[in-house]
Amino acid sequence: MKTHILEGLHMKSESMSYIDALHAIVDYQGWNKKSKAMLSGMTVTGFRFTVNRNLFEESSTAYNWMAENLLAADFIGITASQQAGFSFSATFPLYQAYAVQSMKDSIDQQRGSIIWKDQFVIVTGYDDEQQSLYYSDGNMPGLQRLSYAEFGRNDAPYWYFQVLEEQIELDEIGIYQESLMQAIYKWETHDPMLPSSEYACGRAAYEAMIVALESGVYDHVGVQRVIQDYAASKRDIGIYMSQLSRQWTELHPASLHYQYVSDNFEKMALVVQELNFENHLAVRIKSVEEELTQHLMKAAYHEELAVQALKEYMQERVVNRAQDIGLR
């Protein structure tokens, strides 16, 4: 019977994504002292832009966690073990026991882990007497308790855990170049895991948001969350690109366009924050929808130009890898 809590390991919600969790652990381990904005770009996480066509709250987390969170770590040279599944599966209890044991072992090696607890959070300790894990979710101060038996039982039927293991030295320039390759790919490609009738990705996500706002058919709670989550991503990417353009002046045009994207999302985030669907008159809602649409159109325009600029800059690589994005 043992209790072990990693002192000083906390998560802070800022990037509104997996990056908040990853950064907490990477920073605590001292593997990487980069800012969240830099991690967001280097891991490609911030370049992801996927929406549910009804603008449901889940939008920014509707992606392939197994594939993309492993890659996120891989891109920065961090190795990981992870598993995921449906909590209604007959085999779930086997996985639950394995996950808890893996996370406890990880804590004993002074490393936190990442789990899905209705959002990505970090596990920072455990208490065998209480049969519980402790986690930090970035919103509530201090730690929260999650019994071993409750691990993986979430609002949606998904369970997930990721244990981060070691750091491998990678060439930093290679990481940046790879992130730009992947950014282009993300902008142009639909996530094959998601039915395209319900979800849109990259360039198409802008169009889907505009269609939803113009038709008025969308989730009123979700829209606020979607815009806030992506405002954080776009802000991170704006900062990331401006950092990179200091190193490579050729990236300056792309960086400027990403800055405009970020600015427009910031304005949208302020607009939706003020919005109250229950109390506002229809005419007021309509005008807000129009305002959001205007910002979205501007952002879409600039992001398109930003990616075109990246493609020009990366031309040779893009051509070489047109058939196989995995060639790295």
Partner 1 sequence: MTSVYLEGVQMKRESKSFIDSLYAILTAADLFSGPKYMLSGLSGMAFKFSVHEQLWFMSVSAYGEWGTVHQPAVDNLGLFTSYDGGRNRHPTFRYYQQDAVQWIKASLDQGIGVIYWIPEFGVIHGYDDEDEIFWVQNGVNAGSQVVLYDNLGINSTPFWYVQMVGGKVEVPVEVAILEAIRMAIDDWDTDHILSNASVATGRMAYTFLIRALNLESFDEKGAVYILRSYQYSRSEIRDFLQEACLHLGGLQEALSSYDQLNEIVVPVQTYMIMQDGHRKIDRRRIPELVEILIQATALEEEAMRVFRHISSQYPDPIRSTVPRWGKHTPR
Which residues lie near partner 1 (CB under 8 A)?
Answer: 61-68, 71, 74, 77, 79, 81, 83-86, 88-91, 93-95, 97-98, 116, 156-158, 160, 165-166, 168, 170, 182, 185, 189, 191-195, 198-199, 324-326, 328
With respect to partner 1, which residue has the nearer C-beta, 125 or 152? 152
The residue among 90 and 283 lying less far from partner 1, judged by its C-beta, is 90
Closest approach of Cβ 198 to partner 1, in Å? 7
Location of structure tokens 């990721």: 162
Complex with partner 1: residue 74 or 266, whichever CB lies closer: 74
CB of 123 to partner 1, least distance (A): 18
Q: What phi, psi does 31 have (nearest 5°)? A: -70, -30
CA distance 218 to 115: 29
Residue 98 or 277 with smaller CB distance to partner 1 = 98
- Angle, helix 65-75 to helix 18-29, in steps of 10 degrees: 40
Least gap, CB of 325 to partner 1 (angstroms): 5
Residue 154 Cβ vs partner 1, minimum distance, rounded to whole Å: 11
- Alpha-carbon distance values, 95 to 23, 61, 85 (Å): 26, 22, 9
Where does the chain have alpha helices with state H? 18-29, 36-42, 65-75, 92-108, 172-188, 203-215, 220-247, 252-274, 282-313, 315-320
DSSP string, 269-315: HHHHHH--TTTS-HHHHHHHHHHHHHHHHHHHHHHHHHHHHHHHHTH
Shortest reach from residue 91's CB to partner 1, in Å: 5
- Cβ of residue 72: shortest distance to partner 1, in angstroms? 11
Residue 59 exposure: Cα atoms within 13 Å on the Cβ side: 32
Nearer to partner 1, 191 or 289 (CB): 191
- Contact status, residue 9 vs residue 28, Cβ threshold 8 Å: yes
Residue 66 or 314: which CB sits closer to partner 1? 66
Distance CA 111, CA 126 (A): 12
Give whichever of 59 and 245 is closer to partner 1, judged by the CB atom: 59
Residue 293: closest CA among 271, 262, 274, 260: 271
Query: What's the closest the beta carbon of residue 96 comes to partner 1, in angstroms?
Result: 10
Nearest-approach distance from CB 119 to partner 1, in angstroms: 13
Residue closest to 60 by CA, chosen among 19, 11, 103, 113: 19
DSSP state of 111: -
Decide whether 1 or 90 has the Cβ nearer to partner 1: 90
